[in-house]
Chain A
Amino acid sequence: MEDSRVLSEQNRRQESRSEPSRFSPWTIVAGILTEIGFSLGLILALSGLSYLIAFATP
């Protein structure tokens, strides 16, 4: 019981420390590019895997 109270308190403090940030045109553009970049990375990795499996399967 004591342990769970301590953990909850830790999480509450951590949350209150993280101040809400704000959008700005630069962070939005950079954010969109990051998300699209991540998705393109996934596409590349999965297409590479597809070719590898096609090559490796007799």
Chain B
Amino acid sequence: MDREVLYYGGVVVSWLAGLMALPAATALIFAEWAILVDFSIGLGSALCVGFGLRLLGRRSERGLTWTQGFTAAAFSWVVCTLLAAVPYYLSGHWVSYLDAVFDVMSGFTTTGLVLVQDLDHVPYAVNMWRHLLTYVGGQGMVVLALTVLSKGLPGAFKLYVGEAKDERLLPSVGRTARAIWFISVVYLVLGTLCLGAAGLAVGLKPVRALLHGAWVFMGAWSTGGFAPQSQNINYYHSALYEILTIPFMVIGSFNFALHYYIWTGRRKEVFRNIEVKVFTGALALFTLVSLWSAASSGLYTDGVSLFRRVAYQVISAQTTTGFSNVYGQQVGSGWPTLVILALSLAMLTGAGASSTAGGFKSMRIGLVLAAIRREVKRLMAPESAVVVGKVHAGHDVVLEDKNVMTASLIILLYIVSFTIAALAGVAFGYPINQAVFEAASATGNTGLTSGLTSAAMPALLKVLYIAVMWVARLEFFSALVFLGVLWRRLVSR
């Protein structure tokens, strides 16, 4: 591994150590002494590893190459995941270290699949860590580090792109990272207040209402789908609570560039942007199919149940959040196949690029659809005619073949990854409905479950899902470059 990669990895890991101070402080406030020791060990380990990597590494004054930027981003994610799992494992709420790593990767990648045991009785500090991981993972660990450090880090933009974010809202990557965090923190305050008030309305005590409000908001905004109770959103048995989570899921799945345009006065962008159009169209289509299938099969027959149970799952799937108000087993064994298929496609297609969401991303689907339209037009036009395709994303963008090719390649990689995960599920003996649904959930970084994901599932399948969540969140290329670099080192020895 290049020394530059080690150094930049060390910088990101040092930030993870700083982040661990928050759950440690939570443990201190709520007098959770045993868990305070666990977080102190985790924090100490992260500090040592971060310091060690910086010592072993070398700061690059000339900036990073693309290979180094991509490798450093993927490497940081691996090391951060392994270290963030330490307090999880020590807390005793995870059966094995592998399970703890699974849940950390699920949080960081904003997936939301969980293997935690007895979630209803985990300490406040652990719940704080779970939700903090998913909140930070949504924006990105590297983005967090760049928020403050980009001035001192030459080549920071390549690290930023390596974490699957390519929108440059402002001239410098540091200012872009700060804008992303500004938007997220403003919504954090607003969301915590709204959901905290809803928590009081459903009978939670003030401190719990506020904490649940903050955590559920983090789960919604980061499209992570974590909630503090094992029944997820169903725990609150409240239409108000469910409805309040919807705007935060939808807004959280918007591209940060779209937020930036809207927040700087270009409000009509919400109706013109290609991503919003594709997202809304896909959501409408999958909701219609699911509602019709659920109603005609007799699963739910009244409007309230159809909206609260079926439409809510589709919104959760399309935004790749993973909040659920029905039991996973119920979905896996009792829901019609057509609904399972529609939900799986919604999870795979996903929402905004450069957002906290997963899946193919609306932008890529929009680009491919626009390219198909352009080709059909070209074939129908006279041979001498010049046909140009355009999409609107902030401004009118002329369709270029290289952009269409990149979008198609990434979609193809998502499909390959989904197919491998689905086949593995079937190979391990799970019914095809469940295997497809869970594979779509892991690949789309969604977190809805059909009941397949549990501590009892085979260890190999856990490892495969961890890998799928990781490569999908980094949109493949960083992870592939990282593996390629490792392979080259291995072969050259």
B467 within 8 A of A: no
Q: Which residues of A contact B396 (CB under 8 A)?
A: 14
Q: A7-B400, A10-B398, A18-B395 are in contact. Are A34 and B265 (CB under 8 A)?
A: no
B266 within 8 A of A: yes
Q: Which residues of B contact A53 (CB under 8 A)?
A: 288, 291-292, 295, 303, 306
The CA of A52 and the CA of B284, in the complex, are separated in Å by 14
Q: Which of A7-23 contact B (CB under 8 A)?
A: 7-8, 10-11, 14-15, 17-18, 20-23
Q: Which residues of B contact A20 (CB under 8 A)?
A: 169-171
The CA of A16 and the CA of B250, in the complex, are separated in Å by 30
Give the residue name and chain of the B residue nearest to A40 (CB).
Answer: B247
- Where the two chains meet, the residues of A that have a C-beta atom closer than 8 Å to any C-beta of B are 3-4, 7-8, 10-11, 14-15, 17-18, 20-23, 27-28, 30-32, 34-36, 38-40, 42-43, 45-47, 49-51, 53-55, 57
Q: A8-B400, A20-B170, A54-B301 are in contact. Are A38 and B306 (CB under 8 A)?
A: no
- Assess whether B280 is in contact with A42, with CB atoms less than 8 Å apart: yes
B61 within 8 A of A: no
Give the residue name and chain of the A residue nearest to B300 (CB).
Answer: A54
Give the residue name and chain of the A residue nearest to B270 (CB).
Answer: A38
Would you give 8 A-B contacts (Cβ < 8 Å), ordered by A?
A8-B400, A14-B397, A17-B395, A21-B265, A34-B270, A49-B287, A49-B291, A57-B296
Q: Which residues of A contact B292 (CB under 8 A)?
A: 53, 57
Q: Which residues of B contact A17 (CB under 8 A)?
A: 395
Shortest CB–CB separation between residue A25 and chain B, in angstroms?
A: 11
Q: A51-B303, A54-B306 are in contact. Are A46 and B270 (CB under 8 A)?
A: no
B368 within 8 A of A: no
Number of B residues, CB within 8 Å of A: 55
Q: Which residues of A contact B300 (CB under 8 A)?
A: 54
Q: Which residues of B contact A22 (CB under 8 A)?
A: 264
Shortest CB–CB separation between residue B168 and chain A, in angstroms?
A: 9
B310 within 8 A of A: yes
Shortest CB–CB separation between residue A54 and chain B, in angstroms?
A: 4
Q: What 8 A-B pairs come out closest when comparing CB atoms?
A: A51-B303, A39-B247, A21-B264, A31-B263, A50-B307, A57-B295, A50-B306, A54-B303
- Assess whether B400 is in contact with A4, with CB atoms less than 8 Å apart: yes
Give the residue name and chain of the B residue nearest to A52 (CB).
Answer: B303
Q: Which residues of B contact A34 (CB under 8 A)?
A: 262, 267, 270
Q: Which residues of B contact A4 (CB under 8 A)?
A: 400-402
- Assess whether A32 is in contact with B400, with CB atoms less than 8 Å apart: no
Q: Which residues of B contact A35 (CB under 8 A)?
A: 247, 251, 254, 259, 262, 270
The CA of A28 and the CA of B396, in the complex, are separated in Å by 24
B240 within 8 A of A: no
Q: A7-B398, A8-B400 are in contact. Are A43 and B303 (CB under 8 A)?
A: no
Give the residue name and chain of the A residue nearest to B179 (CB).
Answer: A23
Q: A46-B307, A51-B303, A55-B303 are in contact. Are A11 and B265 (CB under 8 A)?
A: no
Q: Which residues of B contact A36 (CB under 8 A)?
A: 247, 251
The CA of A57 and the CA of B297, in the complex, are separated in Å by 10
